[in-house]
Amino acid sequence: MSALERAHDDQGIMDLGKNCAFCHRLDFLPFHCEFCKGTYCSAHRTLDNHECVGRRQKNAPKTAGIDRASNGPSAASLFPDRARHQKLLDALLESLGTAPARDRKTPLMKLTKFLHLQKLRRDAKKKSSFFGKLASRAVSATAEVAKIKKSAKGPASVNAADRVFMWVLYVNRNEEELEQISVETERRAVWVLKMWSVGRALDSIAETMNIMNHNNATQQSGERLNLFKAEKDEPVVLAASAKVSTSIPNGATLYLVKGAM
């Protein structure tokens, strides 16, 4: 069992998202009211909006934890679940590397966090019956390749029969902004030659996606691009010398991340 899977099973990190006690809508980042102890969505987080039974406490002089500007709970109480998950994630990331979690800057650690956040989001959606039905419809590899081909770009010199089609997502946000990445809208469909090395394919992908690539012009590892795939929601770096034909299947999703390994 992987480190991520142990964290999920042992620490309950997948319990993300709660239903609003007022409107019953599922919210992935719920707000907790420190007065009535209820859990609410963003629309009903204030005392007035959820008709808080503990509202009489808000007028008490020097009451700790009240946000005067928003007439709601203090900032420290707004994201209890998120804070708990972040602590667990920090511990997990620290266990995967030698550097302290606060110093994680490598592409591997950034992508580990991103993939973990994506898994949290998917599992939270599955708790809704609507999303659960959608998730149960598995997409075949053939259908995924057909979808990629509709918008794929790559070198015209590569014969159609020799192309490997894939999604590529450039993960170029700061760690604090990883949650803002929309995979569906930011990934790009590309093709490469199956006889190429991964390093040559990376160069072609960067050119196709108009991403600055200094891999062949600098020895500074912090400026180099790295190509990853995901296995069981954990990042696996693709060696530059490996062959595309044996490392990247048709319909795969790859991740480009800049930085020193």
What digits encode the pLDDT tens for the residues 235-250?
999 999 999 999 999 9
Confirm if 248 and 205 have CB atoms less than 8 A apart: no
CATH ID of 107-126+141-258, from 3.30.70.270, 3.30.360.10, 3.90.79.10, 3.10.20.90: 3.10.20.90
The answer to whether 116 touches 89, Cβ cutoff 8 Å, is yes
Where do we find the tokens 């034909």? 245
Q: Is the pLDDT of residue 146 over 80?
A: yes
For domain 16-54, which architecture applies?
A: Irregular (4.10)
Tokens of 240: 């530059």
Kindly state the helix (H) or strand (E) to which residue 94 belongs, with its residue range.
Answer: helix 80-96
Per-residue pLDDT of 24-49, as tens digits, reads 777 767 788 888 888 888 788 888 88
Beta partners for residue 124, in sequence order: none
Residue 164 three-state SS: strand
What pLDDT score does 26 carry? 73
Decide if 21 contacts 8 (C-beta within 8 A): no
Query: What does DSSP assign to residue 140?
Result: P
Residue whose entry in the numeric block shows the structure tokens 């794929």: 152
CATH 3.10.20.90 range(s) for the chain read 107-126+141-258
Q: What is the pTM of this model?
A: 0.59
Beta strand 252-258 with 234-237 is unpaired
